[in-house]
Amino acid sequence: MEERLQKILARAGVASRRAAEVAISQGRVSVNGQTVTEPGTKADAERDEIRVDGARLQAPAAPVYLLLNKPKGYVSTRQDPGRRPTVMDLVPPVAGLFPVGRLDITTEGLLLLTNDGAFAERVTHPRYEVPRVYHAKVHKIPDADTLERLRRGVRVEGDLLTVDRVRVLEAEKNAWLELTLHEGKKHEVRRLLEAVGHPVSKLRRVGIGPLSSRGLKPGEFRSLTPSEVKGLIDPKGGHVKTVAPAPARRPHPPRRPPNRPQGDKSASRDHRASRERRPSDHRPSDHRPSDHRSSDKRSSDNRRPAAGDRRPPRGRPPRGRPPRGRT
């Protein structure tokens, strides 16, 4: 089955997938006698003849996962041009074994070695945020503002360097700090602490994901258990970085009337009754105001005359007198 060439090299333990892409682009890999410089080229590991630096690619061996407590004075590489001691001198010879990441020659602490390129990619890539814990002895004692600067991040030579967590372990004349990071930029811890005015004199890596240096002396190594391997590649050991969705806003609760004394129930009933009657005060009414003048006039017209002044009602002629205009 054809696969991408860098994936074949990583699975064979030649290097991590990213390092295999670099080797391909440099023209160090050939397939069936033809030099390949395109990382996306596909090949069949069982049918094609694949060579790296002239050496034929062997069938991948059983995966090996080692945890080494690297002492000072060893470089984290398979071969050193300066013939300095390497971490490969501290572990048994295994085909395709290589260190996962690097530690400076003066830095001690935990270092993984494997022949599984996919595993190495999964552990080292910042996207999966596998935490790394360091203990650093620094000059003087950083104050709270300096620790907060480390958490916010400091730009050094164009790189934004930051820590996930930091705390002071010991504070006498100088201080021991514990720092947790999930990225693996070059000399990140040393550059970051020097930028805030506290250069590092000693540095140890004491944790990688669920692994710790407890019970492992400098120069000693051990094999990882299946659960430890799973803890490093499983999202619980190093989760994929994602953007969390914005939290939904909660609706505001309805407003409630102010609390009234429990004993004054009649006052509240009167208040509600007055509020219910209040709109009726503004309703238009069909009743028209009476004309007081016309009512007074009607009452004066209908008033009975006195006995000595009997006048006929208005509009009627007196008795015995013919109406006007009639003869």
Catalytic residues: 104
Backbone φ, ψ for residue 258 (5° rounding): -60, 145
Half-sphere exposure of 266 (CA within 13 A, CB side): 0
Q: Round to whole Å and give the CA distance between 141 and 57.
A: 52
Q: Are 62 and 42 in contact (CB under 8 A)?
A: no
Three-state secondary-structure class, residue 165:
strand
Output the six-digit token pair for 304.
């009975």
Q: Round to whole Å and give the CA distance between 252 and 267.
A: 30
Q: How many CB atoms lie within 10 A of CB 270?
A: 11
181-197 in b/e burial notation, b at 16+ Cβ within 10 A?
bbbeeeebbbbbbbbbe
All residues at 6 or more sequence positions from 104 whose CB lies less than 8 Å from its CB, including other chains:
187, 190, 203
Q: Round to whole Å and give the CA distance between 209 and 231.
A: 8
Which helix (H) or strand (E) element contains residue 121? helix 117-124
Q: Are 113 and 102 in contact (CB under 8 A)?
A: no
Output the six-digit token pair for 60.
């991948």
Q: Round to whole Å and give the CA distance between 17 and 11.
A: 9
Q: Round to whole Å and give the CA distance between 282 and 161.
A: 72
Backbone φ, ψ for residue 70 (5° rounding): -70, 130
Three-state secondary-structure class, residue 235:
coil
Three-state secondary-structure class, residue 181:
strand
